[in-house]
Amino acid sequence: MVMKRFLALVFLVFLFSVQSLSVFGIQRFPKPEFESGYIQPETLMPAPRAEMLALLDIAVLILSLSVVTWLVLKKRSRKGVFWMSLFSLAYFGFYREGCICSIGSIQNVTLALFDTSYVIPLTAIVFFIAPLVYTLFFGRTFCAGVCPFGALQDLVAFSPQKLGSRINAVLGVIPYIYLGLAVLYAATGTDFIICRYDPFVGIWRFNASFGMFVFGGLLLVTGIFIARPYCRFLCPYGVLLNWSSRFSRKHITITPAGCIQCRLCENSCPYDAIDIPATSKNPEDKRTMGRKLIFITVLIPLLIFAGGWTGSKLHEPLAGVNAKVRLAKQILNPPKDTGKPETFEIQAFKSSGKPQKQVFDEASLVLKKFYLGGWILGGFIGLVFGGLIAGRIITRHHADYVPNKGNCFSCVRCVDYCPVK
Amino acid sequence: MNKQNSPGKTISLLQSIAFAGAMLAFVLCILISVNYFQVKKSDPLNSPAMKTMIERFRNNPDDEQIKSEIREFDLLARKAFFTNQWQIRTGGTLLLFSVLIVIICLKTIELLSAKLPLMPDTATTNFWDSRTLNRKWVAYSGIFLVCVSLIFAFLTHNELGKTLELTGKTPGSAADSNLLSKSTGASTADSISASDSGSGVRQDSLPAASSLDAYPTQQEINSNSASFRGPGGNGIVYQRGFPSSWDGRSGKNIKWKTAVPLPGYNSPVVWNDKIFLSGASASKREVYCFDFNTGKILWHTVVDKIPGSSATAPKVNGETGFSAPTLTTDGRRVYAIFANGDLVALDYAGKQVWAKNLGLPKNHYGHSSSLAMFHDLLIVQFDQSGSANVLALSGTTGKEVWKTSRDVKISWSSPIIVNTGKQTEAMLVAEPFVISYNPSTGKELWRFNCISGEVGPSLAYADGVVFSVNDYSKLAAVQLGASPKLLWESDEYLSDIPSPVATSKYLFLPTSYGMMACYDAKTGTKYWEHDFATPTYASPVLADGNIFQMDKKGVMHIFKADKTYISVNDSPLGESSVCTPAFAGGRIIIRGDKNLYCIGK
């Protein structure tokens, strides 16, 4: 007992001393001295992370993933998952202030792929890959108890309602579009929109724009009735986890043995992620199915092309977010013409001495990237629609109540409803 | 009994706490929102009270009492501002804790009131029905998204890329001048570096055969003088290094002088080593090509036997003549129009490429609107009595690309082609409107009612403002934007023939009776007026930071483009002139009454 306490104390001392390293990491250069009594404002962005602490983040992530996976698959413990999610909320959410997170790491990876000058941090790579690897083998255990976004929303899901096929189908498309846009903006070096529009960052950091606070608050209030609205209908990383999870061999099951069709678990999932059994025969004959398959085979390339064409047509509005394009636009259309004061961008450009031709050339290059990106984004969205429709034609039916591998967050709620032990 | 009631009581207590917490959270939310908007709205350093005090202080700078009041008020306002911010932060912390209490209470209630799972009352949904419904709604959302995207796609005009490419190639683009003139205070022309101001000797201009269907870049256009009043017809020269002193009689700085066979009031146009002019009488029409370096007439082409051309000569005024419109060129072909409506395109060897007659103009003074080029389109302003049109013909084939009917009166002004920063526009003026068209499609972009009478002067444009003027009407400055609006107007000096020229700061307005006035381009404040004491028909040109204004006696009045009148020189040609000079390659080409002059250092 004494030994245990001693070890715990040593661990805590180690943890706190490691934490203090960040102080040295931040203050590499002394702050300027002010004689007027001016107090330096606090840095709003998270401070640069000491290398050691970055490794600690990775270790905590891997450890959390392993523990949650063990709790989900071996212990089948909802309580365990709940407490782990609270830990993740505290560590990845409030302590790490939501940065780095796996959702945002999509953008780091994309930028690294498209911009050779960008050096991607090791943390970003691991945060991107590790949850996907775990999901590929064990299902979305990351969503269950490691992701602070999920943990926060799970905490407030007091009265979850079933949404039904229609709403799930319509809203379920949004994450794909969001993912496409996030990749497009990251690949073109425009912006990390996932981070910019992170609804909970204000809660983690106690600092955000009023609009983002409102957005986050609304999501949480919605989350009381519609469980995990961000995870289900917005999260772009969820799309990748969904795809990976479909191949998971060790996914959680509702029943540890055979399903007795008692229907007790039917309404247990707050995320509508339990597939009901196909008790009757498919009413569609083989001929109709065949026709539909031919139709969808023809439709998918058409959807890809139509989506791509539309995306390419929208490349200029999409590129309007890019700082280079925005500056070029402002130069071409000085704010004076619109009766507005001169923008900071214009003022900075003027003082930089940068030639206008260079700005225009850079903006043109960005526009060209967006043109290609518009084709790819539109084509991707077209493919998503085609794939979703095809997935609902080619259905492998099952006789038992099973978690939908793609959508299930492995929260283990349904397990407690199963009378088979 | 007590044991059984215990969880119930606890739940009830937790419910009460949760309710109180939720109410507190709700109130805090409202208070924080109100506080936030208050902070956002308040501008403590610019409050009316503060402004009043500062004004009082300005009037009594030695009044220590006011100074002290200002300091106290400033401190108070800052304290209020930061207190509000502190309230928001504290409110946020309280909100977080109240929400935390609510969550803890509700989670505990959940734990205490856990119930055994029950079988659903309703029958199980049919798997296949559910799948079909889901599939349908995916399809519906897809259709909806496609429709919305298509609407956006059709509503979106992707012109930025093209504009950037065009503007990026052009050192003297509108954007350049807009920004630079604002930041440096230099005039529009000053802000543009010369690309072609060297020796004055120009090289062969014949383009490669493969590029005959192409059109010149903006840089090429700005390096030449391809239309009436220079590039875009705006009276601004994008080169430097022109002479400011010459004398036609003594031959000082006169490189050459060549007699022009037939008379005409059109101005010379220059493309590399070639100068083009036209001349006409009631029965004969000719286009001339002069060697820029020697003044030798390289060729002249008689324009006749045009299908549809009237055998009867049009009635023209003596001051307009039969070939008043200035030619234009795209570096591949040269285009000319005459008073009888004959329109011709010649290649650089003088060979006719295409020709057509637009119909005998119903014009009591004689047709005089000059031609303009946009890319490969020849823009023709054809405002005739009872029928006004603007049309664009393919420079290569002469085929009509677009034609737009204009609900305006007859006019004698010429189009200007202007890059406003947003887009390139063709701006025309005739009673009662200034109208802007998309030069690619002929689609009207905007119009502004500000002019009347028989409009002769063309428009001037600089830094988002268009200037129109006509005699017995008014001088109007129209600010472009989402919807054009009148910036200022004046009726003190008006012109019936020469056109104004503008920079981002100043407007220079000549009158045909020899007065020149300078206005603040943005406010209309008149800075100066100067009487040249000689009538002027030629339009002024801005080059090298100077205004070049030719009077009817052939004296070029050169003065600084500035808010005070500073004469640089008065250079006589030795021959009367009513034509606007062309500036290119460090030389000035002037058409006199009888001769064509090349002025160079």
Residue B191 domain flag: no
- pTM of the model as a whole: 0.57
User: For residue B176, is it within any domain?
Assistant: no
Q: Look at the block and give the residue holding tokens 């209309």.
A: B524
Asked whether residue B485 is assigned to any structural domain, the reply reads yes
Give the amino acid at A259: C
Contact A313 B156 (CB under 8 A): yes
What value does the mean pLDDT of chain B take? 86
| Sheet with B541-543, edge to edge strand ranges | B541-543, B546-550, B555-560, B567-572
B591: nearest Cα among B314, B203, B327: B327
Give the model's pLDDT for residue A58.
95
Q: Which residue of B has its CA nearest to A266?
A: B120
In this model, does residue B427 exceed pLDDT 80?
yes
Task: Give the number of other CB atoms < 10 A from CB of residue B482.
Answer: 9
Q: How far is A48 from chain B (nearest CA, A)?
A: 24
Q: B348 in a domain, yes or no?
A: yes
Give the alpha-carbon dihedral of A56, A58, A60, A65, to 10 degrees: -170
Q: What is the CATH number of the domain that holds B338?
A: 2.130.10.10
Residues B560 and B416 in one domain: yes
End-of-domain residue from the set B112, B135, B168? B112
Q: Is B256 left (phi over 0), alpha (psi -120 to 50) or beta?
A: beta
The identity of residue B553, as a single letter, is: K
**Contact list, B175 vs chain A (CB under 8 Å):** 331-332, 356
Query: What chain A residue is nearest to B174 in terms of C-alpha separation?
Result: A332
Q: Look at residue B186 in the predicted model and tell me its pLDDT.
A: 34
**B195 — pLDDT class (breaks 50, 70, 90):** very low
Q: How many interface pairs between A and B have CB atoms less than 8 angstroms apart?
A: 174
With CB atoms and an 8 Å threshold, state whether B124 touches A263.
yes
Is A158's Cβ below 8 Å from some Cβ in B? yes
CA distance linking residue B425 with residue A325, whole number of Å: 22
Which SS3 state, helix, strand or coil, does residue B382 take?
A: strand
CA distance A165 to chain B (A): 5
Instruction: Indicate whether B5 pLDDT > 60.
Output: no
Cβ pair A266:B421 closer than 8 A: no
Angle between helices B64-112 and A148-156 (to 10 degrees): 70
How far apart, in whole angstroms, are the C-alpha atoms of residue A192 and residue A175? Answer: 16
The residues facing B393 across adjacent strands are: B378, B400
Q: For A84-98, B160-174, B297-311, B526-540, which range has the lowest pLDDT when averaged over its residues?
A: B160-174
The answer to whether residues B32 and B85 touch, using CB atoms and an 8 Å cutoff, is: no
Distance from CA of B114 to the nearest CA of A (A): 11
Query: Strand, helix or coil at A393?
Result: helix
Please state, in angstroms and rounded to a whole number, the distance separating the CA atoms of residues A19 and A13: 10
- Whether A390 contacts chain B with CB within 8 A: no
Q: Which of B95, B112, B129 is the last residue of a domain?
A: B112
Task: Retrieve residue A314's tokens.
Answer: 């929208």
> Token digits for A331?
């130069």
Residue B70 pLDDT grade (very low, low, confident, very high; cuts 50, 70, 90): confident
| Cα(B583)–Cα(A319) distance, integer angstroms | 40
- Predicted confidence at residue A26, as pLDDT, reads 42
Residue B67 binned pLDDT confidence (cut-offs 50, 70, 90):
confident
Q: Decide if B163 is inside a domain.
A: no
Residues A258 and A261: their CA atoms lie apart, in Å, by: 9
* Residue the block writes with tokens 């004698």: B412
Report for A91-100, B60-69, B119-128, B190-199: range of highest mean pLDDT = A91-100
**A357 touches A351 (CB < 8 A):** no
HSE-CB at A40 with a 13 A cutoff on CA atoms is 8
Residues composing chain A = 421
| Subunit contact A392:B142, Cβ cutoff 8 A | no
Residue B123 is assigned to a structural domain of this protein? no
- Residue B39 CB partners (closer than 8 Å, separation 6+): B81, B84, B85, B88
Token digits of residue B399:
């085929």
Strand partners, B352: B346
Nearest alpha carbon to residue B177 among B227, B222, B121, B136: B222
B424 sits in which H/E element: strand B424-430
Query: Is the Cβ–Cβ distance between B288 and B277 less than 8 Å?
Result: yes
- C-alpha closest to that of B258 among B299, B290, B300, B225: B290
Report the pLDDT value the prediction gives residue A277, as an integer from 0 to 100: 85
Q: Rounded to the nearest 5 degrees, what angle is found at the Cα of B109, between the Cα atoms of B105 and B111?
A: 120
Residues of B in contact with A272 (CB under 8 A): none
> How close A351 comes to chain B (CA, Å)?
10
CB atoms within 10 A of CB B530: 16
Six token digits for residue B433? 């409107």
Which of B92, B120, B422 is the closest to A267 by Cβ? B120
Same domain, B445 and B554: yes
Whole-angstrom CA distances from A144 to A135, A172, A174, A252 are: 11, 19, 21, 11
The predicted pLDDT at position B389 comes to: 94
Q: Which of B88, B112, B136 is the last residue of a domain?
A: B112
pLDDT at A3: 60
Which residue type occupies B249? R
Question: Is residue B195 in some structural domain?
Answer: no
Determine the pLDDT at residue A208: 85
pLDDT of B211: 52
Query: Which pair of tokens denotes residue B1?
Result: 């009994």
Q: CB of B217 within 8 A of CB of B564? A: no
Q: Which residues pair with B402 in a beta bridge?
A: B392
pLDDT category of residue B333 using cuts at 50, 70 and 90: very high
How many C-beta neighbours within 10 Å does residue B240 have? 18
Q: How confident is the model at residue B193 (pLDDT cuts 50, 70, 90)?
A: very low
Burial of B191 (0-12, 13-18, 19+ CB in 10 A): buried
> What one-character-per-residue DSSP string does B214-236 give?
S---HHHHHTSB-STTSGGGSSB
Q: What's the rounded Cα separation, in Å, for the pair B7 and A130?
A: 43
Query: Measured between beta carbons, which residues in chain B are less than 8 angstroms from residue A420?
Result: none
Sequence spans of domains, chain A: 51-263+402-417, 280-393
pLDDT for the residue numbered B55: 84
- Cβ of B421 and A333 within 8 Å? yes
pLDDT at position A339 is 57
Question: Minimal Cα–Cα distance from A386 to chain B, Å?
Answer: 9
CB-based contacts of B66, cutoff 8 Å, min separation 6: B53, B56, B57, B60
Least confident span in A135-149, A189-203, B177-191, B581-595: B177-191
Number of structural domains chain B divides into: 2
Give B366's pLDDT tier (boundaries 50, 70, 90).
very high
In a domain, residue B382? The reply is yes
Q: Which of A189, A180, A207 is nearest to A98 (CA)?
A: A207
CB A380 within 8 A of CB A220: no
Q: What is the CA radius of gyration of chain A?
A: 25
Nearest alpha carbon to residue A63 among A160, A15, A134? A134
Q: In this complex, do B117 and A417 lie within 8 Å of one another by their Cβ atoms?
A: yes
pLDDT, tens digit, for every residue of B519-530?
A: 999 999 999 999
Instruction: Residue B551: give the domain boundaries.
Output: 209-599
- State residue B174's pLDDT score: 41
Is residue B301 within 8 A of residue B283, CB to CB? The reply is no
Q: If you count DSSP H runs as helices and E runs as strands, how many of each does chain B have, helices first?
A: 7, 32
Asked if residue B383 and residue B245 are part of one domain, the reply reads yes
C-alpha span between B309 and B338 (Å, rounded): 11
The one-digit pLDDT tens for each residue of chain A (421 residues) are 556 666 666 665 655 554 444 444 444 444 555 555 666 666 666 566 777 888 999 999 999 999 999 999 999 999 999 999 999 999 999 999 998 899 999 999 999 999 988 989 999 999 999 999 999 999 999 999 999 999 999 999 999 998 888 888 889 999 999 999 999 999 999 999 999 999 999 898 888 888 898 999 999 999 999 999 999 999 999 999 999 999 999 999 999 888 888 888 988 999 999 988 877 777 778 888 888 889 889 999 999 999 999 999 899 999 999 999 999 888 877 655 455 667 788 888 877 777 777 888 899 999 999 999 999 999 999 999 999 888 888 777 778 889 999 999 999 999 989 988 7
Q: B140 contacts in A (CB within 8 Å)?
A: 170
* Complex confidence, ipTM: 0.76
* pLDDT beyond 80 at B7: no
Q: What is the mean pLDDT of residues B117-136?
A: 78
Residue B150: is its pLDDT beyond 60? Answer: yes
The answer to whether B167 contacts A332, with C-beta atoms less than 8 Å apart, is yes
pLDDT of residue A6: 64
**Which residues have CB under 8 Å from B238's CB, separation 6+?**
B171, B172, B189, B192, B194, B195, B222, B223, B231
Rounded to a whole number of angstroms, the distance between the first and last alpha carbons of chain A is: 35
The percent of residues above 90 in pLDDT, for chain B, comes to: 61
